[in-house]
A and B are shown apart, each in its own frame.
Chain A
Amino acid sequence: MKGRVALLGLCAVLLALLPLTGDDVLIQYGIDALLFATLAQAWNIIGGFAGYASFGNSSFYGLGTYGTAIAMAQLHLPFWVGLCLGAFLAVVCAVLIGLPILRLRGHYFAIATLGLSATLSAIIANLDISGRNIGLILPLTRNDTMFYELALVLLVAATGTVAWIARSRFGMGLIAIRENEDAAQVMGVNTTLYKVTALVLSAFFTALAGGIHAYWITFIDPASAFDLTLNVRMVIMAMFGGPGTVLGPVIGSFILTFVYQLLASSISTAAALLFGIVIVLAVIFMPRGLWDLAGGLRRLGPRYFLQNIRAHRL
């Protein structure tokens, strides 16, 4: 265990040193990858541990984005105040929405959260303070190294939180809820409190990632801030890596971002197509993610794939 933590710390330090290469394109890809990994990790808390497939995380992302943008572009406050405002909005939204919506289960929870970002985006598009449909322009800062290190710190914080959850009583409660909510309640888990807390934590990290992205990209509008495909990408990355594990979502999102960038730069039009094929094949052959695949291959070899199909086919 100690060795593992040391190894991870070493990885984080190596990642932190990446800007020293001075390669601008690499750093920009890095920021993208780190923010996506954070989003996948944040989704992992509510989706992987508590088992609630949230499609509302893009709303939290949008609120974080707009919180930061409104604070900086409209109120001329410093960046960190904007980040706090965005996170605050997202957390409040998570509590207000979580209490009624977390009563729903399965597909119904997913759909209700799906409606959330569409509704919020329409509201934002009609408010003056958020620049209506046109969007907002943030002050320009050309400092990619700073954004890179911020994104890295955020990812480490999110992963640290998930590592704590995985070993805590709180995490056990969430897993119990995922496996059988009624049984968890009977065993004395305060399911409402646990679920809302998980959603709030998820919203918090998602909003911070949104705030950093907003300041980095300097222009936001309702369509890009509340983009549902972003939420779908979070889910795919977390599921690809291994939902409910500590490192799976991070590794999954690193690999998928890398594959996608590679495809996009070599065969631009067919990149999305191949991405879709990767998702389909991944669901068939490794339905529990890379993390499970690693263990399964060691245990069973190639028979692992056949076993997955045998377990889930009709």
Chain B
Amino acid sequence: MLFAQILVNGVMLGGLYGLMALGMALVWGVLNIVNLAHGAFVMLGGYCVYFLFTGLHLDPFAALPIAMVVMFVVGYLLQRYLLNLIIRSSHLNTLLITFGLDVVLTYLAQLAFSADFRAINPTYAGSNVTLLGVTIPLVRFGAFLTALVLAAALWVMLERTRLGHSIRATSQNLIAARLYGVDPAQLYAVTFGLGAALAGAAGGLYGMVSQVTPYIGATLTAKSFVITIMGGLDNPFGIILGGLFIGIAEALAAIYIGPTFTDAISFGLLVLILVARPARSLRGA
């Protein structure tokens, strides 16, 4: 029974991880930017939902779409007026500038919101359902479902809409997409905004199942990174699967090996995958 409970906990957390990585994978796949500020976007989304919840007494799940819109605008503006300036620079430079952004956002958040731990605690935060002896906290289950719904929505958007088609076309061949009338400056900004919006949603959910501080960004970026590599850049459901995998591996490692090993497990797995299957990993490089 303990094993089943751990598995469920891992799956719930993994869905959230997957959602978080989805935004990074989208930006990476289309813009070829590994956004080191992604975790900072997650953090900002968390604060957004927190203040909507405490200030306007909105239900946190209802506040998610607002946080997503806010983060979309932030991401759009950053890409349009800052990152588009260096997009053709070497990959190390894009890493560096997003790292700089991460530092700026982290310390702006510290100045504006202080370093206090903030948790989003709606009235139903403590409630849970027990199914076959396994306890499922409602908030975590809601977060898990939201992650699945957003992943599905992203998939439908990419497959079925005109915007999705132009995003996929651009990621495959920028010049050809341009010839068919795509404005890359605009499209890049929209894509980056979408990535930030997904990060914002993940941040709101993260604030409900854990706590938000200005400094959560770095480890969340690293996790998104690992999941993106595992899941591949081409399929949102692959990313969700990667998230589930990491969530379960961490939950198991925390119980059976020791909590200090959770980060080492995900990174160790990553190195193994990269080294053992370089051909698959190298395809996107």
Contact = CB atoms under 8 A, between A and B. Distances in A.
Interface of A: 47, 53, 100-101, 103-108, 110-112, 114-116, 118-119, 121-123, 125-126, 133, 228, 232, 235-236, 239, 243, 269-270, 272-273, 275-280, 283-284, 287, 309, 311-314
B188 A287 contact: no
Contacts of B107: 269-270, 272-273, 276
A125 B261 CA distance: 9
10 tightest Cβ-Cβ pairs between the two chains A and B: A276-B103, A279-B100, A122-B264, A115-B267, A276-B104, A273-B107, A280-B100, A283-B97, A312-B89, A106-B285
B156 interface: no
Interface of B: 34, 82, 84-93, 95-97, 99-104, 106-108, 110-111, 184-185, 188, 218, 222, 225-226, 229, 258, 260-261, 263-264, 267-268, 270-271, 274-275, 278, 281-282, 285
- Main secondary structure, interface of A, reads helix
Contact of B271 (A106, A116, A272, A313): A116
Contacts of B97: 279-280, 283-284
Contacts of B267: 114-116, 118-119
A134 to B, nearest CB: 12
Contacts of A236: 96, 99
A104 B282 contact: yes
Contact of A283 (B100, B104, B188): B100
B268 A119 contact: yes
Given A105-B285, A106-B285, A232-B99, A284 B92 contact: no
Given A100-B275, A106-B91, A119-B267, 6 more contacts: A47-B92, A118-B263, A276-B101, A279-B100, A280-B101, A284-B85
A115 to B, nearest CB: 3
B222 to A, nearest CB: 7
A279 B96 CA distance: 7
Contacts of B104: 273, 276-277, 280
Nearest to A113: B271
A314 B270 CA distance: 32
A314 B89 contact: no
Given A276-B103, A279-B96, A312 B282 contact: no
B82 A280 contact: yes
A119 B260 CA distance: 10
B261 A122 contact: yes
Given A108-B282, A122-B261, A280-B101, A239 B88 contact: no
Contact of A122 (B86, B260, B274): B260
A111 B96 CA distance: 14
B255 to A, nearest CB: 16
Nearest to A222: B260
19 contacts: A101-B271, A103-B275, A103-B278, A104-B281, A105-B282, A110-B95, A115-B226, A116-B271, A118-B222, A126-B260, A235-B92, A243-B92, A276-B101, A283-B89, A283-B100, A284-B86, A287-B90, A314-B87, A314-B88
Contacts of B218: 228
Given A239-B96, A279-B99, A314-B185, A111 B229 contact: yes
A114 B263 CA distance: 12
Contacts of A121: 264
A291 B101 CA distance: 24
B100 A277 contact: yes
B88 to A, nearest CB: 5
Given A107-B91, A126-B260, A283 B34 contact: no
A314 B263 contact: no
A108 B89 contact: no
A139 B243 CA distance: 45
A299 to B, nearest CB: 20
A107 B96 contact: no
A73 B96 CA distance: 37
Nearest to B89: A312
B260 A313 contact: no
Nearest to B185: A314
Contact of B85 (A53, A133, A276, A312): A312
A251 B193 CA distance: 37
B188 A272 contact: no
